[in-house]
Amino acid sequence: MIAGRIIIIDSDERNNNLMKIILANRGYDVTISFNGKQGVDTFGINKFDIVYLAMNVRDMDPLYIIREFKKRDLDVVIIALIPVDNVHLIQEALSQGVYDYATKPPKPEEIYFTTKRAIIQRRYLLNNRFAIKSLDERNISLQKQNIMLAKRIGESTRNLTQLYDDLRETYMRTIKALAQAIDARDHYTHSHSENVTRYSDIIASEMNLDTQKREEITDACQLHDLGKIGVHDYILVKPGKLTPEEFEEVKLHALKGAQILEPLAFLEGVIRIVKQHHERYDGKGYPFGLKGEQIDLGARIMAVTDTYDAMTSARPYRTTPLSKKETIEEIKKGSGAQFDPEVVKVFLKVVDRF
Closer CB to Fe ion, 82 or 202, in the complex: 202
Distance, in Å, from the CA atom of 288 to the CA atom of 29, rounded to the nearest integer, reads 99
E strands, the chain, where? 5-9, 29-33, 50-54, 77-83, 100-104
Check residue 306 for interaction with Fe ion (CB under 5 A).
Answer: yes
Closest to Fe ion by CB, 104 vs 224, is 224
From 36-44, 82-90, 221-229, 329-337, give the range in contact with Fe ion by CB under 5 A: 221-229
Site size for Fe ion, by CB under 5 A?
2
Q: 10 vs 225, which CB is nearer to Fe ion?
A: 225
Q: How far is the CB of 151 from Fe ion (least distance, A)?
A: 50
Indicate the residue among 35 and 307 with the shorter CB distance to Fe ion: 307
Distance, CA of 73 to CA of 99 (rounded, Å): 14
Q: Using CA atoms, how far apart are residues 197 and 231, in angstroms rounded to an integer?
A: 22
Cα–Cα distance for residue pair 136/144, rounded to 1 Å: 12
Which segment (102-110, 153-161, 211-219, 301-309) binds Fe ion by CB under 5 A?
A: 301-309
Residue 30: strand pairing partners: 6
The answer to the question of residue 279 lying near Fe ion (CB under 5 A) is: no
Task: Report phi then psi at 254, rounded to 5.
Answer: -65, -45
Pick 216 or 306: Cβ nearer Fe ion: 306
Return the number of the residue (122 or 228) whose C-beta is nearest Fe ion: 228
Q: Which of 10, 225, 279, 296 binds Fe ion (CB under 5 A)?
A: 225
Tell me how far apart the alpha carbons of residues 341 and 13 are, in angstroms, rounded to a whole number: 113
Answer yes or no whether residue 10 interacts with Fe ion by CB under 5 A: no
The piece of 13-21, 33-41, 287-295, 303-311 that touches Fe ion (CB under 5 A) is: 303-311
Burial of 246-255, coded b for 16+ CB within 10 Å and e otherwise, reads: beebbbbbbb
DSSP string for residues in 215-258: HHHHHHHHHTTGGGGGS-HHHHT--SPPPHHHHHHHHTHHHHHH
x/- map, 173-212, Fe ion, by CB under 5 A: ----------------------------------------
Stretch that binds Fe ion, among 105-113, 166-174, 298-306, 337-345 (CB under 5 A): 298-306
- Count CB-CB contacts under 10 A for residue 69: 23
Query: Cβ(54)–Cβ(66) under 8 Å?
Result: no
Identify which of residues 225 and 279 has a Cβ nearer to Fe ion in the complex: 225
Residues of this chain that interact with Fe ion (CB under 5 A) are: 225, 306
